[in-house]
Each structure stands twice: as structure tokens, then as C-alpha cells.
Amino acid sequence: MKTIVLVYRWQLQCHFVIIVARFRIFFVRQATIVSIRNLIMSYKSYLESKKTTNTINNGLSLPQTSLLLPFGCICHLLAGTASDPDILTDFIVPQNSTTFDGNFFTFTGLRGIFDGPDPTNFKVTKVSMADFPALNGQSVSYAVLQYPAGGVNPPHTHPRSDELFFVVYGSLKVGFVDTTNKLYAQTLQLGDIFVFPKGLVHYQYNADPKDPAIAISAFGSADVGTVSVPATVFATGIDDAILAKSFKTDVATIQKIKASLATKA
């Protein structure tokens, strides 16, 4: 009897794999809660139609144990939508490319980046898909960040990737704020690595009054996107009265902040 139950359980799981396969294209395209609910309800209806109430030695009914399979499949499908889309080739070649060799996979934009005097303002040199087309479809990108003494990378977010931050010179104060408004701050030294989770507001600051600092960032997307909090709030045309009410201040203060940002730009 036990063997029959186990065989029947295996048959049900095979049937469910077929159901998942039929739903896969629709599910990946929609990736919504409604899609998940429909998938689960379809499977529950299938089990009810079979009226399987046999139990296994561990005391769980056959439908209960079989629900582990759809849960695993759903988690797998959701994980597939968490980063840049996978490509079906080794790499992507630009449409109008006339020559294609090792040069395509080589980026030389960082040569000489440390030659000459240190920058007087915060400077970031990006190695993203826009700068290095070979990254298209590879789900990686890079950035070199240079901070003068007292320099700051203002609060900002990266909507499409987390950030692995590596200090290669000097010391930096860093931090990010999570969705509960809790601040996670740290002072990093040469050789330290810090991670900024995807989409959360974060910053870096060189508190040293004399020496510069340098860091390298790695991203899990070929185009992470950057949303600067000061520029987004004060330099995009939002009405002064709205900002004054939002920050519980007056219009004159808002205008002063806007003028300061415009001068630095």
C-alpha cells in the first residue's frame, strides 16, 4: 500500500510539472500576485478533482506534501525576474558593428584616471552598458569613485541593482537607510568592503580634511540607474510651495537650496 501511495504521489507531481510548464510563459510575462494565485488555485482544483486523501507515514496528507512542489516552482520563477533578463546567446553584438574582435570586450576608459592632480570635486567614472557595449546582457557594471578631502557623494539610490563598495585608498564614512527609516552607518578603511542593498538611499563621505579617497563599486546590472536625492527633489521643477510644506519650512529657504544646487552644477 505504501508503494502505491508513493507512486501515485509521483504521478501527481509529474502532472503538476506539466501544468507549471503550460503556465510558465504567461507567469514570467505577468509576474503579478494574480498570476501566482491563479497558478495555486488551478493546482488545488486539480487535487480536489482527484480526491486524494491517502496519508503518508509522516502524518501529512498527500495534497499537503505535494504543495511543496508548487511552492518551489513559484520561488524559482520569481527568482528569474530579480535581475537583468537572461540572454539566449553568449553575448550581444551591436547591430551596426563592422569589426568584431577582442577590442569589443576591452574597455580602456580607466587608463590614466589616476594621473595628474586629484579632482577638486567628487568624481565618478562609470563602466556601464552605455560606456562599454559589451556589458549588454551580462548583468554587471563598474564604477570608480574619487573623493577629494571633504568630498561627498550625496544621498542617492540605484533602482536596478545593489552595490558592492570597495575602498582602495583612504577612508570613507558610508551608510544607507532601510524601509523602516533605520540608518546603517560605518567608517571604512583601506581594503574594506560594504554592500548597499538595491533601491535604498545611501551615501559616502570623505571626512579627512587633507587626503583624498578612492573606491570601486561593482553592480549586478549593466545599467543600474542613479537617482540623486538632492537633484531629484530640488532640481526637477517641483513647486516651491509643495517643497516648503513637505519640509516644514518656507519658500525662501527652498529657493535658497535650489540656487545653491544650481551654482554647484
Q: Are 224 and 156 in contact (CB under 8 A)?
A: no
Cα 185 from Cα 195, distance rounded (Å) = 11
Cα 168 from Cα 152, distance rounded (Å) = 16
CA 204, 159, 26 angle in degrees (round to 5)?
Answer: 160
Q: Which residues contact 11 (CB under 8 A, 6 or more apart)?
A: none
Answer yes or no: is 48 a known binding residue.
no
Q: Which residues contact 134 (CB under 8 A, 6 or more apart)?
A: 91, 104, 105, 107
SS3 (DSSP) at 139: coil
Q: Are 39 and 23 in contact (CB under 8 A)?
A: yes
Answer yes or no: is 156 a known binding residue.
yes
Answer yes or no: is 158 a known binding residue.
yes
Cα 197 from Cα 46, distance rounded (Å) = 40
Which residues belong to the annotated binding site for Mn(2+)? Answer: 156, 158, 163, 202
Annotated binding site: 153, 156, 158, 163, 202
Q: Which residues are annotated as a binding site for oxalate?
A: 153, 158, 163
